[in-house]
Chains A and B, each alone.
Chain A
Amino acid sequence: MKANELRIGNLVYLVDKEKIWEILDGHEIDECDENPLVQPIPLTEEWLLKFGFDLYDGFSNMRFINIVKHEYDSSTISFSHTEQLTRFSNGHPKGSTLIPHIKYVHQLQNLYFALTGEELTKGGEQ
């Protein structure tokens, strides 16, 4: 992982300690840079549920999450594990935007923070 992907609050996987770690300060971000012992956490349905998102079925094996949790909002992120395909529906007339680079938990955390100004935390607590 490159350090410029990360923010304080991001969750990563520590290979040697076999555990999930929340980055607590800037120094830890520097330590993560190109460090093989720090790996990104693959984004899975299990993680989306931990974050408190409501999942609902879509078409073609896609699953959808609402960007704004627990409120009506037609802005969604949809993804398919099998196709490694993530899509952000932003209401643009041309339709939704592919965001194929969003494959990991920290990337979803950062997208959510950039869009809402709120942190995505485990247990759905903000």
Chain B
Amino acid sequence: MKANELRIGNLLLDRGDKVLRLDYWDFMKPAQRMFIEDSEVHPLTEDLEYCKPIPLTEEWLLKFGFNRRQIKDLISYNTNQLELYQHAYNNNKIFFEYADGEVQLKYVHQLQNLHFALTGMELKCAVRKLNK
């Protein structure tokens, strides 16, 4: 992953495929704050070269509170502020469409950043534990 894609709050995968939330940068490493019984302990960090983006799936969209609607081969996912489309004829890729343009959202952090850029608000994830 490239560092310039990332913003604090983004969700990534570490080398063990565990979800890592970028709480701050430990110099060049994404770091997640960790707590045990409300006391902050040593953070989780990962070298950027081992970080991987999380593929954006329907499961993630539902976690973020998007509502799913299907009309034949077209699925739309929407919140009050953002609407995304998934077309069967387009290999079920997920798109945000705007007038003559569209942007394919392949990864969770891309969706998080588009939402923040367009609305000024963070997408909230409806799960408490990011890893099962």
Which B residues are in CB contact (< 8 Å) with A6?
A: 7-8
Chain B residues with a Cβ closer than 8 Å to the other chain, count: 30
Chain A residues with a Cβ closer than 8 Å to the other chain, count: 36
Interface centre among B5, B25, B122 (most CB of A within 10 A): B25
> Complex: how many Å from CA A113 to CA B7?
12
> Per a CB cutoff under 8 Å, which of B100, B110, B114 touches A73?
B100
Interface pair B100/A25, CB less than 8 Å apart: no
Interface pair B25/A29, CB less than 8 Å apart: yes
With A75-B98, A75-B100 as given contacts, are A7 and B7 in contact (CB-CB < 8 Å)?
yes
> Which of the 9-residue segments A34-42, A43-51, A55-63, A85-93 touches chain B?
A85-93
> In the complex, given contacts A8-B4, A68-B101, A88-B118, what are 10 additional A-B residue pairs having Cβ atoms less than 8 angstroms apart?
A3-B8, A3-B24, A4-B7, A4-B122, A6-B7, A8-B3, A26-B25, A114-B103, A114-B110, A119-B4
